Chain A
Amino acid sequence: MKKIEAVIKPFRLDEVKDALNRLGVSGMTISEVKGFGRQRGHKEVYRGTEYQVDFVPKVKIEIVVATEMVDKVVATIAENANTQKVGDGKIFVLPLEQAVRIRTGESGKDAI
């Protein structure tokens, strides 16, 4: 099992989610985050004062998949989150120690 974390632009979430569902990915967790990479922020104005905003709203998707599926999942996310513009985001693949389904107590592959 591996854990995949993807930080993407918020408005690409639905496409990514639908594509992952078609792939057979059975669950995911998302959170609303802020961040920046090479896409630095921009200037805003509030009541006459200019200020620099560095952090940009993003969505982070976390999913746990069987190791065999990792490449396909990463490719699917990348394809559907891509807008060809700076700030599209990043995908990280992490090793995973254990997964447990709370209701049944199943663990390992049976839990995902």
Chain B
Amino acid sequence: MKSMRIIGLGLVFLLGGLAAAWADEPTPMSNKEAIDLVQTHANYMWTLVAACLVFFMQAGFAMVETGFTRAKNAINIMMKNLMDFSMGSIAFWAVGFGLMFGATKTGWFGTSGFFFSDFSPDGDPWVLAFWMFQVVFAATAATIVSGAMAERTKFVGYLVYSVIVSAVIYPIFGSWAWGGLFNGGGWLEGLGFIDFAGSTVVHSVGGWAALAGAIVLGPRMGKYGKDGSIKPIMGHSMTLAALGVFILWLGWFGFNPGSTTTADKSIAMIFVNTNLAAAAGCIMAMFTSWIKFGKPEVGMSLNGALAGLVGITAGCANVSPGSSIIIGAIAGVLVVLSVVFFDRIRVDDPVGAVSVHGVCGAWGTLAAGLFNMGGTSMAIIGVQLLGMAACFVWTFTLAFTMFKLIDKIVGLRVSPEEELEGLDLTEHGGVAYPDFGVASTHGGIAPLAGGSMTPGAVRVGIPVNQE
């Protein structure tokens, strides 16, 4: 009797166990779905982490720009950087994303996806992740201009620019080269244009818009003498500028490898290419400045690192690490020569934005064709040149026209008195460093007369304020 019970119990357990095992057994089909889902999740993770890194580049730009400009304009630089990201984000959400990545019949601009119409709460959230990644790219292009237009631009004029560049200028060109990454498809990418992370789409667009702005504005007071001399206007903090470049370098590790929007092994080479190009650019810019001016100069070296980064951005996924060094090195030499050139033709660019992003962006795009690992050809180079030219024509003419219009309607440049006093006080009613400098009748609130002095009046150098 007892043994019967035991056997019976044992059978129950055995059968129960078997039933449970049969019910959970994985099939080949469900395995693949699960694996694909993990990959999809990884893609989201990587894309959004990369978006964070690219977002952080905004801090980098802010620090570079303020380091290379005077203390009396530091608040204005911060406001411009805050706003070109904030207003750009909304503009890109409303209009830009649709123009860049919406469905297109012509291949020249998108016509769907405005105000986030692709999103629905129970739909595929990939549009959110993709948008997040793309908006920080748009913001990068927008903020490049702020540096070239520093120290003399009306804040209102800059706000208007921020909206237009993020809503129209950047996205439409972007659609030609990258529309196919989402719902669209551009004529330029259809020709095989190579610009993996945006040497042209982001950096040249920013650079040529910066050139247009600098030209329409004119140079800062005291920068160029009537006798043809060039008077340096020293930035107030090389340490902030260097911090900014390091932050940008870090952020570029999201910018370039993140452009895969896929978590796979290809990002490794992109990381390496990015770093090697930056290093080579920094070194060659330093040596170039050493040879040309007698001392290794910090401003040029910092620009050189950025030039290398911009230069590799187009080809980071299709050139070898060895090529990256060459591309970065050439960018490092180019940027020094370009900065000197623009000063010589009296285009005042306080931070070298046009040289770093416009000129080296173009070089990087050409290099992506020249150093293509699959081999180069006249056809490939031709398409690259076409893209570079299309970018310049589109961006420069639109931006130039826009800045001229802004100038006519609200005014683009501040008055000479405002420029001398400093935009912090005149545009924003504030002082960036109220505790620094000699105590004045306002108890240390007002900036030092002239405003180009760093704390303690120990800085060597003549504040250049009058023509």
Q: Does A33 contact B (CB under 8 A)?
A: yes
B292 touches A48 (CB 8 A): yes
Q: Does A50 contact B (CB under 8 A)?
A: yes
Select which of B234, B340, B456, B462 is within 8 A of A32 by beta carbon: B456
A-B contact count (CB 8 A): 51
Residues of B with C-beta under 8 A to A50: 293
Minimum CB–CB distance for A39 against chain B, Å: 13
Instruction: Tell me the complex Cα distance, A44–B460, Å.
Output: 10
A53 touches B460 (CB 8 A): yes
What bracket does the count of chain B residues touching chain A fall in? Answer: 20 to 34
Minimum CB–CB distance for A22 against chain B, Å: 28
Binds A, one of B94-102, B295-303, B324-332, B383-391: B295-303
A48 touches B460 (CB 8 A): no
A48 touches B457 (CB 8 A): no
Q: Does A92 contact B (CB under 8 A)?
A: no
Residues of A with C-beta under 8 A to B374: none
Mark A35-50 against chain B: 1 for CB-CB distance below 8 A, else 0: 0000001001111111
Which residues B40-95 have CB closer than 8 A to chain A?
Answer: none
| Known interface pairs A47-B300, A48-B339, A48-B340; A53-B458 also in contact (CB < 8 Å) | no
Residues of B with C-beta under 8 A to A27: none
Q: Does A101 contact B (CB under 8 A)?
A: no
Closest residue on chain B to residue A41 by CB atoms: B460
A45 touches B295 (CB 8 A): yes
Closest residue on chain A to residue B342 by CB atoms: A48
Residues of A with C-beta under 8 A to B352: 47
Q: Does A108 contact B (CB under 8 A)?
A: no
Closest residue on chain A to residue B460 by CB atoms: A53
B297 touches A45 (CB 8 A): yes
Which residues A16-66 have CB closer than 8 A to chain B?
Answer: 32-34, 41, 44-51, 53-57
Select which of B231, B458, B460 is within 8 A of A49 by beta carbon: B231
Most buried by A among B232, B295, B336: B232
Instruction: Tell me the complex Cα distance, A44–B232, Å.
Output: 10
User: Which 6 pairs of residues, A with B, have the shortest CB-CB distance?
Assistant: A46-B232, A47-B299, A45-B293, A49-B232, A48-B340, A49-B230
5 residue pairs A–B, Cβ–Cβ below 8 Å? A47-B300, A48-B339, A51-B461, A55-B460, A55-B462
